Structure 1
């Protein structure tokens, strides 16, 4: 019975290790794709005819540019934590030339700078061109914290829910993280910026622990194999001793 259990455990650990190896290759491919997108020249943001095909695998973090007018009176604040501490992403609708809308994450503000009058500069007026990273909508909320549109409390950038709250239609199924302007100074947490919101704080990071997980599962498989070999060896020794003992007792 123990041999069957050991065989099942060995095969299970090997299968888990192999699965993690496949995940490792997938993750490295994802990182390579995203890195290429981030540094590629900006392309026009997908229009209404392309919205149905937007997905995380093919479009997330693609550098895009879009043209339109900001609806500065319709800002939405989404809780966030950045290198500048806790605060909010400022999501502002941008009305495009065709009448559709795209939410633009114009950057980060601290709690003391939610009021536009405290930000050190006027919000963009008239027609603007925005360049940034395309991000796929984040429905529902954050871990253990659900969005509450009725109370205007947001923990994730849920495009459709925010659009429904603001009465915006049609709206793209993505938002754009606006990038910092060329030549902008690096963020220094010890020296708060003079102008808010602060764009360009998107953190692109993918956890990559699959190799260590694969090694762990393979080591467990080897431990099961080694333990089984040890038990079998002891069992064979005991059988040989019993056989020798019985042979010695024969007349």
Structure 2
């Protein structure tokens, strides 16, 4: 009787570890598939960035066109602009602990 009882108890003892192992394998397979999708997305992103950074610079859109500019389309675009530095309007700003600031 003890051999029959121990033989039928063995599958029951292994049921929980087997289920945990199956769940673990399923999770790992899911993570692997996610990584493959992520890899394809990254390759597409790198190709898009390479294309946009190799393109010639374009004129910066006027400020009035700001609401119509879409972030995805304008992202990483090279632009050309001109400006003038106004020395009379510059301000020196120091942070706490700045190494440039002298002690009083």
Q: TM-score, normalised by structure 1?
A: 0.28
Residue 37, structure 1, aligned to residue 48, structure 2: no
CA distance in 2, matches of 1:152, 1:36: 42
Match for residue 65 of structure 1 among 73, 80, 85: 80
Residue 16, structure 1, aligned to residue 31, structure 2: yes
| Structure 1 gap segments, 5+ residues each | 77-148, 154-251
Alpha-carbon deviations, 1:26-69, whole Å to 9, x = none? 111111111111111111113223323453x4333211111332
Matches within 5 A, 1:2-151: 2-52=17-67, 53-55=69-71, 57-72=72-87, 74=90, 151=95
Q: Name the residue aligned to 1:214.
A: none
Structure 1 residues 71 and 63 mapped into 2: Cα distance closer, same or farther (>3 Å)? same
Equivalent residue of 1:41, what SS? coil
Equivalent residue of 2:84, what SS? strand
CA distance in 2, matches of 1:151, 1:12: 48
Which has the higher Rg, Structure 1 or Structure 2? 2
CA distance in 2, matches of 1:33, 1:9: 36
Alpha-carbon deviations, 1:208-233, whole Å to 9, x = none? xxxxxxxxxxxxxxxxxxxxxxxxxx
Q: TM-score, normalised by structure 2?
A: 0.61
CA distance in 2, matches of 1:75, 1:150: 10
**What is the CA-CA distance between 1:6 and the residue it aligns to?**
1.1
Decide which structure has greater strand share: 1
Q: Which has the higher contact order (CA 8 A, sep 6+)?
A: 1
| Structure 2 gap segments, 5+ residues each | 1-15, 98-104
